[in-house]
C-alpha cells in the first residue's frame, strides 16, 4: 500500500507514524512545503485525557512529548483587581517546533520518507497512490482546488487576534482581562517550556480600530501590547513570529473525503484557540483515520467509515469551540459582573465544564460562587443563608408579589388533549403531579384565546366559562397541594392554526372540511399545502386584542399567579415580529419598531387587565435561525420594548418561525440568547431548550446567564424531577405533600449516599496525571 501525505504538521505526521507502526510494509511519504525546523506560532496545549489517548496509540512518541512538556494543574483568571486559581484541570504545553521535531524523529525511526520544501502542485502527481492524505493546513490547496466537492464553509469570526510569545514564566493556564482607554484586551497565556510562554492576544473590532492596530507593524503591535499588559509581563518582552493580527476562521466541510483523498487537521476542521483544541483535534483526526483504515483494506470503505464515524466527535468539539469563542467576543456583556460570577462564567463558557464537575475539581471555588449567588438573593430581600448556602437552583426568586420557592420551571408544553378547548382529568393529573413534584413554577401549555386561535382541535382554551372553571379546578388543586405557582400562557396560533395533532403530523394542515379560517400578519402559508391565512386588518386586530384581554381576565378569576403572552414560534404575535413572516407595507410592517407595534398593543391591553401585583412574561423566539430573520441583537431591542411596557420576565426560546429554520442544536442550545438579553438589557430571563439536569440549571444560574430554568422533557419523564434534584443536593427544605413525606425523607437519605458514591466514581474515572514529577512522586 502506498500513502502520500501532503503536509508535515501534527495531523499528517501522526497518521503516518500510526500507519507505519501497524503496517511496516506500507510505503508512506510525507511532503512538507516548509523546512524541517520551520514553525510558526509558539506553544501547543494538550489535556491529561488527550495524553492518555496518545499513550495508548504510540507509547514512544507519547514519552518523547511528555518529557518535553511544561505541565500545570491550575487555570488562573485575572479580572479587574481579582485573581482566581481553579485547580484540577491537568494541562500541559509544548513548543510547536519541538512537537514537530519529535514527531519527525519518530517518523524517521519507523522508516517514513519525508520531503521538506516540497511544492506540491496538486493530487494529480500522486496518481498511483492508494491513499492521499491532505493535511495541508487552514489554507489547504487540495481543499481549495476541489471546493465544489468538499464544499467548505469558512466562518471568519469578528474578533482580532495575534499569536505571540514571551519569556514571562507562568505556572498556570492564565487568562488576563484588561480594560484600556480603547476597550478590553484579553490574553490567553500558558508556559510551554522553561522560560517561554505563549500569549494569544485578542480584542473586538471596535477596540482594534480605536487602538490603531491595523496600521502597526508586528513589532509595533508587540510594543503596544507590552504597554497594555505591562503589569502582567513584569518586565518581560513579547516575542513575534509571523504575529499578524487576523480573524479566526471556523472551517467546516460538507464532505471530507473524495475518491482516495481525505482531508485531515486544519484543512478539514478548525477549533478556536480559546478551548486549546486545535492540535488535539488534528491528532485525533489522525487516530480516527488510522482506525478506519485498519478496519478494512479497502480504501473507499475506510474513507466512508472515517467520514461517518469522525464527524460527530468533531462537531461536538467545534460546537464547544463556537460557544467559547462567542463568550470571548462578547466579554463586554459580562464586564458589570462581580468577579466570582465572571470567573465562573469563564470556566463554564463552553458548556463542557458544569457546576458539578467543576465542584469535583475546585470545590472551594464553586463554594465561593455559590455564596456569591446567595448574597445577591439576600440583597434582593430574602433571608437566606450566605455562609452555607443551598445551590443556586434552590434559591428563591420574586417577580412582583409572586415568590417562587426555587428556580425550576415546568416548561409550557402543548398536550393536545383538550376537548373543545376544555382541560380534562388528564390535565388535572398532568399539572397537579408536576406541581407536587416540587417545581417552583408550572406553566400551562399555550392556552388559546378563541376557537379560531387554536393550533389543533386538541388545544386547550380559555374563552368560555366551562374552560375557566376547568382551569380553576387545576389551579386550586396545585395551590392546595404544593408550593408551586402556576402561570397561564395565552396565545393565538396565527398561520400555524387549523393543524393536525402533533402525533398525526406536526404543523400539517387539517383537511379542509375540518379546518377553520386563520389569520396572520401577512398572507403566507406555513407549508405550501397549508391554508393561506388572511392578512389582519384593523378590525381583526381589535377583535384579537379583545380576545386576549378577555382571556387574561378569565385567568385572573381562575386564580393563576402569573400570565405569559406567547410571541414566539411563528404564532400570530410572532408573525408580526419576524421579517420572515411579516411583509406588510403599512404601519405594522417594515422596521422592527413597526413590527413590534401590534404585539405591544396586545401586551399593554393585557397588562392593564391583569392584576397589578401579579407578574407577566413574554415568550420570544430570540432568533429565527434563518438568514434575514430575527437575530439576538433584535431580541434585545424587542425585550427592552416589552420591558418599557411593563414585562417582568422574558421567556427565551428560538425558531419554529418557518419550516426553513435551521437550528444549531446541542446542550442548553438556546441559553446564549437568554444570556444576551439578560446581560445586555438588564431584564430577567428564563432559559429553555435542551436543559436536562439540575447540574446544568446550577451552571446557568451561577454564571449569571438566566434567572429561571425551564425544563420540558425531563418533567415529562419525571414529574418529581425537582424533588429528586433536591435529594441530589441535600436540600431538605423542599415542600412535599404530607402524604408523600416518607418518600421525601427516604429520597434524601439515599441521595446523600448515592451522590457520594457517584462523586467517588467520577474521581476514579478522571484521567491520570501525565506530569512526570507527579507520577514519580506517586511511585
Q: What are the CA-CA distances from residue 674 to residues 19, 494, 639, 701 (Å)?
A: 47, 25, 10, 11
Q: Quick one: DSSP state of residue 406? A: S
Closest CA relative to residue 135, chosen from 123, 149, 153: 123
Catalytic residue among 14, 176, 571, 588: 571
Report yes or no: 311 and 320 within 8 Å, Cβ to Cβ.
no
Q: What ranges in 437-534 are assigned the alpha helix state H?
A: 465-481, 502-505
15 vs 22: CA distance, rounded Å: 11
Beta bridge partners of 687: 652, 709
Beta strand residue intervals within 323-475, DSSP E: 397-399, 402-404, 408-410, 441-443, 447-448
Which cell is 702 given? 451561577
CA dihedral of residues 168, 170, 174, 179 (deg, nearest 10) = -30
CA dihedral of residues 429, 433, 435, 441 (deg, nearest 10) = -80
Report yes or no: 167 and 195 within 8 Å, Cβ to Cβ.
yes
Cα angle 268, 252, 325; round to 5: 110
Closest CA relative to residue 719, chosen from 394, 437, 425: 437
Q: What ranges in 421-568 are assigned the alpha helix state H?
A: 425-436, 465-481, 502-505, 538-558
Q: What are the CA-CA distances from residue 153 to residues 148, 267, 352 (Å)?
A: 11, 11, 25
Q: Is 416 a catalytic residue?
A: no
Q: Are strands 408-410 and 441-443 parallel, antiparallel or unpaired?
A: parallel
Cα angle 401, 404, 407; round to 5: 135
Q: Are strands 113-116 and 196-203 parallel, antiparallel or unpaired?
A: unpaired
Collapsing DSSP to helix, strand or coil, 753 comes out as helix
409 vs 414: CA distance, rounded Å: 15
Report yes or no: 482 and 435 within 8 Å, Cβ to Cβ.
yes
Alpha carbon 42 to its chain centroid, in Å, reads 29
Alpha carbon 676 to its chain centroid, in Å, reads 12
Which residues carry out catalysis?
Answer: 571
Amino acid at each position: 500500500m502506498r500513502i502520500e501525505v501532503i503536509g508535515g504538521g501534527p495531523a499528517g505526521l501522526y497518521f503516518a507514524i500510526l500507519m507505519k507502526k501497524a503496517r511496516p510494509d506500507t510505503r508512506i511519504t510525507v511532503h512538507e512545503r516548509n523546512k524541517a525546523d520551520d514553525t510558526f506560532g509558539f506553544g501547543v496545549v494538550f489535556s491529561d485525557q488527550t495524553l492518555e489517548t496518545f499513550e495508548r496509540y504510540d507509547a514512544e512518541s507519547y514519552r518523547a512529548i511528555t518529557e518535553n512538556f511544561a505541565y500545570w494543574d491550575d487555570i488562573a483568571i485575572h479580572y479587574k483587581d481579582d485573581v482566581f486559581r481553579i485547580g484540577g484541570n491537568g494541562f500541559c504545553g509544548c513548543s510547536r517546533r519541538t512537537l514537530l521535531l519529535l514527531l519527525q524523529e519518530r517518523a524517521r525511526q519507523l522508516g517514513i520518507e519525508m520531503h521538506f520544501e516540497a511544492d506540491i502542485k496538486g493530487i494529480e502527481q500522486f496518481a498511483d497512490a492508494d491513499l492521499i492524505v491532505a493535511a495541508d493546513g487552514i489554507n489547504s490547496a487540495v481543499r481549495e482546488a476541489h471546493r465544489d466537492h468538499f464544499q467548505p464553509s469558512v466562518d471568519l469570526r469578528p474578533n482580532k487576534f495575534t499569536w505571540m510569545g514571551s519569556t514571562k514564566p507562568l505556572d498556570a493556564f492564565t487568562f488576563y482581562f484588561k480594560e484600556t482607554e480603547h476597550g478590553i484586551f484579553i490574553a490567553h497565556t500558558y508556559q510551554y517550556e522553561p522560560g517561554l510562554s505563549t500569549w494569544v492576544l485578542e480584542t473586538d473590532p471596535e477596540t482594534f480600530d480605536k487602538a490603531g492596530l491595523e496600521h502597526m507593524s508586528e513589532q509595533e503591535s508587540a510594543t503596544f501590547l507590552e504597554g497594555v499588559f505591562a503589569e502582567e509581563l513584569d518586565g518581560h518582552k513579547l516575542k513575534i513570529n509571523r504575529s499578524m493580527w487576523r480573524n479566526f476562521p471556523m472551517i467546516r466541510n460538507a464532505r471530507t473525503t473524495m475518491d482516495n483523498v481525505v482531508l485531515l487537521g486544519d484543512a478539514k476542521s478548525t477549533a478556536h484557540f480559546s478551548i486549546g483544541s486545535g492540535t488535539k483535534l488534528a491528532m485525533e483526526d489522525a487516530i480516527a483515520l488510522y482506525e478506519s483504515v485498519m478496519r478494512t483494506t479497502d480504501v473507499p470503505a475506510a474513507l466512508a467509515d472515517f467520514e461517518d464515524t469522525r464527524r460527530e466527535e468533531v462537531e461536538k468539539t467545534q460546537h464547544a469551540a463556537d460557544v467559547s469563542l462567542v463568550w470571548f467576543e462578547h466579554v463586554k456583556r459580562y464586564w458589570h459582573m462581580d468577579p466570582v460570577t465572571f470567573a465562573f462564567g469563564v470556566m463554564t463558557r463552553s458548556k463542557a465544564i458544569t457546576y458539578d464537575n467543576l465542584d469535583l475539581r475546585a470545590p472551594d471555588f464553586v463554594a465561593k460562587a455559590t455564596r456569591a449567588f446567595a448574597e445577591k438573593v439576600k440583597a434582593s430581600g430574602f433571608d437566606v443563608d450566605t455562609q452555607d448556602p443551598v445551590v443556586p437552583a434552590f434559591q428563591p426568586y420574586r417577580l412582583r408579589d409572586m415568590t417562587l420557592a426555587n428556580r425550576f420551571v415546568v416548561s409550557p408544553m402543548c398536550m393536545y388533549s383538550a376537548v373543545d378547548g376544555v382541560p380534562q382529568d388528564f390535565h388535572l393529573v398532568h399539572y397537579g403531579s408536576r406541581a407536587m413534584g416540587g417545581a417552583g413554577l408550572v406553566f400551562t401549555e399555550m392556552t388559546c384565546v378563541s376557537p379560531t386561535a387554536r393550533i389543533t382541535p386538541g388545544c386547550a382554551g380559555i374563552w368560555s366559562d366551562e374552560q375557566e372553571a376547568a382551569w380553576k379546578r387545576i389551579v386550586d388543586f396545585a395551590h392546595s397541594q404544593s408550593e408551586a405557582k402556576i402561570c397561564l400562557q395565552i396565545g393565538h396560533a396565527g398561520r400555524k392554526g387549523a393543524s393536525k395533532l402533533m402525533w398525526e403530523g406536526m404543523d400539517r394542515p387539517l383537511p379542509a372540511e375540518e379546518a377553520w379560517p386563520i389569520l396572520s400578519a401577512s398572507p403566507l402559508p406555513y407549508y405550501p399545502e397549508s391554508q393561506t391565512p388572511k392578512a389582519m386588518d384593523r378590525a381583526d386586530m381589535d377583535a384579537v386584542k379583545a380576545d386576549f384581554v378577555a382571556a387574561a381576565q378569565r385567568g385572573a378569576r381562575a386564580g393563576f399567579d402569573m400570565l405569559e403572552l406567547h410571541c414566539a414560534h411563528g404564532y400570530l404575535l410572532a408573525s408580526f415580529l419576524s421579517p420572515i413572516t411579516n411583509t406588510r407595507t403599512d404601519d405594522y410592517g417594515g422596521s422592527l419598531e413597526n413590527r413590534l407595534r401590534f404585539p405591544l398593543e396586545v401586551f399593554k391591553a393585557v397588562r392593564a387587565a391583569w392584576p397589578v401585583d401579579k407578574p407577566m412574561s413574554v415568550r420570544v423566539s430570540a432568533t429565527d435561525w434563518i438568514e434575514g430573520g430575527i437575530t439576538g441583537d433584535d431580541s434585545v431591542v424587542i425585550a427592552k420594548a416589552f420591558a418599557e411596557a411593563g414585562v417582568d420576565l422574558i421567556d427565551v426560546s428560538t425558531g419554529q418561525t418557518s419550516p426553513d429554520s435551521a437550528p444549531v442544536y446541542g446542550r442548553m442550545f438556546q441559553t446564549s440568547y437568554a444570556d444576551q438579553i439578560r446581560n445586555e438589557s438588564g431584564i430577567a430571563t428564563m432559559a429553555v431548550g435542551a436543559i436536562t439536569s439540575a447540574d446544568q440549571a446550577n451552571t446557568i444560574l451561577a454564571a449569571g446567564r438566566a434567572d429561571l430554568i425551564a425544563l420540558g422533557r425531563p418533567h415529562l419523564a419525571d414529574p418529581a424531577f425537582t424533588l429528586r434534584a433536591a435529594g441530589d443536593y441535600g436540600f431538605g427544605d423542599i415542600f412535599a405533600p404530607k402524604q408523600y413525606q416518607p418518600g421525601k425523607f427516604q429520597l434524601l437519605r439515599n441521595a446523600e449516599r448515592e451522590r457520594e458514591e457517584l462523586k467517588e466514581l467520577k474521581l476514579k474515572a478522571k484521567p491520570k496525571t501525565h506530569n512526570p514529577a507527579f507520577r514519580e512522586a506517586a511511585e
